[in-house]
């Protein structure tokens, strides 16, 4: 018995699989790819160039060259990806996503019947849809429970396909505020649904922020004001006090986390900007003072026109389950949001691309480009919001957002030029993330 066990151990130790896992095999294999780009928009905001080659080594961009490089000249048995008939640009970034959230009108049913495990599995499915739509990175700005961290880490390890995820944890919100998910339910049944982001008073809020970071948050999402699409009968004005907002930002920044503030009414937007948040999400009712503060602080406006359109459609559907109070808020806020984003754009406020997918369908993220076009944004500027600007907002400008030497090989392509027709971005034909091809048709 002992002898056979010893033999078994000897066999296992000698097997090739064991040798590989022990790390004593040869150095990891070099992987080289040459991409021939018919037209290349390497740095959105600068002019595209025709006939360029992107050399990718081990998932990173080694160089960008003029002309179509011969793979044999690169060495390492480089493979060729022929996109000589395509328009090639950096992988797209959605800076306002909820990738574990199920879209649909049955939110209350979802909240009360689904577990964290459901969120993880649905999230894996939505992550794949999002990646195939050309979005190689998302800023997941608020998600209950722990599923989002498991999904983020599994994608990073290559266990499931999906975009890179920068994840906020639970919303930081006041008791009964937008984001307190138990609002509107019978208190004896549902009080305390995912309540670890609910806080009142500066100390309580600092603790809530630190607790999100303890769980794994890469950034903090705060509900600075009320929201349109929630049953809380507290309007869209400022919810947190100035002192609470300052405490939240101080606690987050001290631990190296940025803060994105959901905010609608101008008073709440401006209080959040004065407290030092890094972005305002939605910002339906921004005013001249908001625009001044945006420019003074350098904060981004994450315009989420997709969710505006989505919520307005539900509000205008008499058969939808939306309450009259929410319908009224939506009819007032959404058209104003379109006007105000246009105003902010004309005034030179920095805008980052966001959709609020999870309310609208996942994988339709590129619809936002059409809304940006509709408010008067140029095609190039719209692409900048979803690449250079979103990367900067996320603190990932050294890693993603442009196709330059040293950056991650996050690369997408369309048939025609999105600079001529922005809807090309709704028909992404090629997706590479970190050097791995996820779509090529």
- Min dist. Cβ of residue 310 to Zn ion (A): 11
* Distance in Å, CB of 355 to Zn ion, minimum: 9
Report in angstroms the alpha-carbon separations of 315 from 124, 185, 258, 318, 324. Answer: 30, 21, 33, 7, 9
Q: CB neighbours of 221 closer than 8 A, spacing ≥ 6?
A: 141, 142, 168, 171, 172, 259, 260, 261, 262, 281
Q: Residue 61, CB half-sphere, CA atoms under 13 Å: how many?
A: 25
CB-based contact 151:123 (threshold 8 Å): yes
| Closer CB to Zn ion, 356 or 424, in the complex | 356
Using alpha carbons, select from 225, 205, 208 the residue that is nearest to residue 265. 225
Cα distance between residue 138 and residue 156, in whole Å: 13
The distance of closest approach from Cβ of residue 227 to Zn ion in the complex, given in angstroms and rounded to an integer, is 9
Nearest to Zn ion of 310, 350 (CB atom) = 310
CB closer to Zn ion out of 236 and 413: 236
Minimum distance of Zn ion from residue 223's CB (angstroms): 10
Token couple for 156: 């990073």
CA neighbor of 367 nearest in space, from 328, 330, 313: 313
Q: Which residue is nearest to Zn ion (CB)?
A: 356
Strand 32-40 and strand 49-57: pairing?
A: antiparallel
- Give least dist CB 96 to Zn ion, A: 6
**Closest separation in Å from C-beta 365 to Zn ion:** 13
Q: Which helix (H) or strand (E) holds 144?
A: none
For residue 390, the tally of other CB atoms under 10 A from its CB is 28
Give Cα 161 to chain centroid, integer Å. 15
CB of 103 to Zn ion, least distance (A): 12
The SS3 of residue 280 is strand
For the CB of residue 170, give the shortest distance to Zn ion in the complex, in Å: 13
Q: Among residues 96 and 164, whose Cβ is nearest to Zn ion?
A: 96
Question: In this complex, which beta carbon is closest to Zn ion, that of residue 281 or of residue 379?
Answer: 281
Q: How many CA atoms lie within 13 A of 300 on its CB side?
A: 26
> β-strands 351-353, 135-140: how paired?
unpaired
Of the pair 74, 219, the CB lying nearest Zn ion is at 219
Looking at the Cβ atoms of 304 and 389, the one nearer to Zn ion is 304
- Interacting residues toward Zn ion by CB under 5 A: 356
Q: Report whether 355 contacts 98 (CB < 8 A).
A: no
Smallest separation (angstroms) from Zn ion to the CB of 192: 22
């Amino acid at each position: 018995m002992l002898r056979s066990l010893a033999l078994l151990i000897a066999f296992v130790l000698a097997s090739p699989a064991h040798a590989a896992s022990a790390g004593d095999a040869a150095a990891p294999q070099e992987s080289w790819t040459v991409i021939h780009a018919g037209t290349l928009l390497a740095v959105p905001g600068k002019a595209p160039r025709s006939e360029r080659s992107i050399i990718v080594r081990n998932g990173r961009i080694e160089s960008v060259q003029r002309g179509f490089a011969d793979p044999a000249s690169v060495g390492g048995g480089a493979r060729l990806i022929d996109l000589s008939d395509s328009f090639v640009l950096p992988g797209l970034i959605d800076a306002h996503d909820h990738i574990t959230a199920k879209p649909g009108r049955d939110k209350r049913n979802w909240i009360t019947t689904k577990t964290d495990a459901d969120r993880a599995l649905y999230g894996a499915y939505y992550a794949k849809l999002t990646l195939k739509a050309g979005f190689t990175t998302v800023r997941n700005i608020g998600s209950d429970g722990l599923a989002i961290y498991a999904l983020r880490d599994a994608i990073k390890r290559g266990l499931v396909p999906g975009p890179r995820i920068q994840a906020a944890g639970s919303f930081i919100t006041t008791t009964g505020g937008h984001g307190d998910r138990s609002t509107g339910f019978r208190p004896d049944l549902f009080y305390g649904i995912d309540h670890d982001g609910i806080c009142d008073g500066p100390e309580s809020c600092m603790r809530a922020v630190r607790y999100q970071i303890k769980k794994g948050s890469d950034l903090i999402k705060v509900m600075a004001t009320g929201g349109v699409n929630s049953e809380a009968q507290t309007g869209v004005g400022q919810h947190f006090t100035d002192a609470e907002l300052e405490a939240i930002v101080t606690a987050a920044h001290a631990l190296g986390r940025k803060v994105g503030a959901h905010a609608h009414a101008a008073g709440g937007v401006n209080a959040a900007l004065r407290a030092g948040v890094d972005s305002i999400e939605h910002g339906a009712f921004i005013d001249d003072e908001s625009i001044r503060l945006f420019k003074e602080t350098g904060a981004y406006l994450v315009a989420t026109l997709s969710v505006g359109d989505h919520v307005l459609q539900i509000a205008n559907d008499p058969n939808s389950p939306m309450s009259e109070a929410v319908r009224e808020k939506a009819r007032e806020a959404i058209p104003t949001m379109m006007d105000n984003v246009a105003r902010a754009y004309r005034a030179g406020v920095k805008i980052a691309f966001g959709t609020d997918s999870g309310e609208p369908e996942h994988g339709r993220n590129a619809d936002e480009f059409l809304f940006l076009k509709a408010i008067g944004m140029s095609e190039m500027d719209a692409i900048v919001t979803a690449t250079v600007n979103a990367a900067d907002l996320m603190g990932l400008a050294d890693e993603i957002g442009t196709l330059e030497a040293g950056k991650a090989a996050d690369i997408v392509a369309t048939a025609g030029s999105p600079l001529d027709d922005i809807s090309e971005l709704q028909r992404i034909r090629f997706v590479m993330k970190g050097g791995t091809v996820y779509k090529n048709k």
